[in-house]
Structure 1
Amino acid sequence: MSPVDLRDSLSAAAPDRPGRILALDLARAGALVAMAVFHFVFDLELFGWVLPGTSTTGGWRLLAVCTAGSFLFLAGVSLWLGHGAGRRWPGFWRRFAKIAAAAALITGVTYVAVPGAFIFFGILHSIAAASLVGMLVLRLPALGLIALAALAFAAPGFARAELFDPWWFWWTGLQTVTVRSVDYVPLAPWLGPFLLGLAAGRIGSARGLWHRLARWRGSAAWERLAWPGKHSLLVYLLHQPVLIALVAGATFLLR
């Protein structure tokens, strides 16, 4: 690719919307599997089957970070595919409302279950907030989006201030106080992978990637494997209650 071609790829807009892309559904399904594995280990720790701190250190911590990053990256790609050819506000607000309602449900349930570390700004809250930002910066060229992503990644290192210490600013990730939550995904630095996904969506459209991927349908087996990715919000909401019930049941029977 020549420098001119690269510049065109980084600034071009999507000519139209491709159909549903099985490869992206499979990617979401893979992220959901990784999330379920991590939460299973978290539940084992909760019920005393593994050592305290197992899920928050070493490879398990890395798995959690990579999984959250992949969800946000894919959400950025999806936002571009849905609105890169033109903002569709009614559809956007319907999806935003679903995610926000699910986030509120998670907050309510965890406030009752773990009031000292409830989820007030977890992955769903972060996706909802990042989607609003994404719609505002949708028309930036890919290089601009990448620059903003770099700023989001770097912000916790240079922009922390006591100004952000009140709890109503904790969604920024720029406070100087310690925050307790079983799932905390503030915009700094987690807006970064979302914006990278938005940039990747734009670049992919400029190169015709998404239309090529949309033509690949795979076999019936691939379609079945992609099912969780097509219903990712439902799977996200249901998987942890199921896992906790299984671990709690095993604990009751075996101890």
Structure 2
Amino acid sequence: MAATGSWLSHTIDVSGDTLSLAPRSTYQSRLLWLDLARGVALLGMVVFHFARDLEMFGLVTSGTTMTGGWAAFARLVAGSFLFLSGVSFDLAHRGGFRTRPWARRFVIICGAAGLVTVATLAVFPTRFIYFGILHAIAAASLIGVIFLYFPAMAALFTGIAILAMDNFLAPGILESQWLVWTGLSAAARPSLDFIPLVPWLAPFLFGMALAPLLPQEAPRSSWPTKPCVRIAAWPGQHSLLVYLLHQPLLLGVIWVFAQILR
């Protein structure tokens, strides 16, 4: 893919998970719209998990978040994370594949995914997260390297093919537990968060395909320096931290509230 200038490779968030390569002094050279968009996705995640946690504690009707509008909302939030991660991934490597930053980010995301698996296994052994959103982002980032060497249309058509596979192939055509992550295995066990690559690789690839059409320049007006904008952009600049900490905080607050109601 064509280069867009060396400044972009060194200042843009490379992950979709806020593992930014840029020092804080380069705040204005970040893509603020991307930080803000990621912040909106995080807000949606917190809202959904708050409702799910209320359900887990019996404060709302069981099954509320698994059907209807809540189920659609959950898919929208997950898809937005993967789409924005694909956008960030493509923009970060627009000047050529950057091996060391990619490897650093990949290791951190894999470590965070492993931490989520271990923590949920300890607390929810029958529904622990074995392939959740972080696992999916890590796998998509590995697969996404291939698409850096092809035109954007390759990612677009592959994403469409994945959606077609999910909709038209019979589910469960594979039987192995080891292939659950593909989304085509009948051996999937219950999990608090299950994001298999079929169909969830598709929004990541759509993000890569559409990234060249999105704004890629640092903002030139004074509005990004305003305190309200900095505050609004902060979650999107630290989304991995927010992701890892929000559930323990929500569960703690709801547990205290539930004890008070008893």
Q: Are 1:190 and 2:196 matched, yes or no? A: no
- Residue 215 (structure 1) aligned with residue 220 (structure 2): yes
1:174 aligns with 2:184: yes
Deviation digits for residues 90-121 of structure 1 (CA, Å, limit 9, x no counterpart): 00010111110000000001111111111000
- The alpha carbon displacement at 1:232 in A equals 0.3
1:83 matched to 2:72? no
Which sections of structure 1, spanning at least 5 residues, go unmatched? 1-11
Q: CA deviation at 1:40?
A: 0.3
Deviates more, 1:93-102 or 1:168-177: 168-177
Q: State the 1:179 CA deviation.
A: 3.2
Distance 1:161 1:28, change over 3 A: closer
RMSD in angstroms over aligned alpha carbons? Answer: 1.6
Name the CA shift for 1:165/1:88 in 2 (closer, same or farther; >3 Å). Answer: same
Alignment match, 2:14: none
Q: Say if 2:180 and 2:187, in contact at 8 Å, map to a contact too.
A: no
Distance in 2 of aligned mates of 1:106 and 1:20: 29
- The one-letter code sitting in structure 2 at the alignment partner of 1:222 is V
Structure 2 counterpart of 1:250: 257
Aligned partner of 2:155 in structure 1 is 145
Residues 142, 203 of structure 1: 8 Å contact kept: no
| Matched residue type, 1:13 | A
Distance 1:14 1:152, change over 3 A: farther
How many residue pairs align between the two structures? 239
Structure with more contact order per residue of length (Cα contacts < 8 Å, sep ≥ 6): 1
| Deviation, structure 1 residue 162 | 5.6
Query: Would the alpha carbon gap of residues 58 and 235 (structure 1) be closer, same or farther in structure 2, given more than 3 Å must change?
Result: same
Relative to structure 1, the CA distance from residue 178 to residue 21 in structure 2 (aligned partners, 3 Å threshold; closer, same or farther) is same
Structure 2 residue 37 is matched with structure 1 residue 30: no
How far apart are the structure 2 equivalents of 1:141 and 1:107? 35
Q: Which residue of 2 aligns with 1:118?
A: 128
1:32 CA drift (Å): 0.5
Deviation at 1:156, TM superposition (A): 2.2
Provide runs of 4+ in structure 1 moved above 6 Å.
none
Cα distance in 1 between the residues matched to 2:171 and 2:78: 25
Q: Distance in 2 between matches of 1:27 and 1:161?
A: 33
Contact 1:155 1:174 in 2 (8 A): no
Q: 1:13 touches 1:85 (CA, 8 Å); kept in 2?
A: yes
Task: Decide which of 236, 241, 244 is 1:234's aligned counterpart.
Answer: 241
- TM-score, normalised on structure 2? 0.87
Match of 1:4 in 2: none
Listed one character per residue, the Cα deviations across residues 116-143 of structure 1 (whole Å, up to 9, x for unaligned) are 1110000000000000111111122222
**Aligned residue number for residue 68 of structure 1:** 78
Please report how far the alpha carbon of residue 14 of structure 1 lies from its aligned counterpart in structure 2 after TM superposition. Answer: 3.7
Identity %: 45
Structure 2 portions without partners, runs of 5+ = 9-28
- Aligned position for 1:40: 50
Q: 2:4 corresponds to which letter in structure 1?
A: P
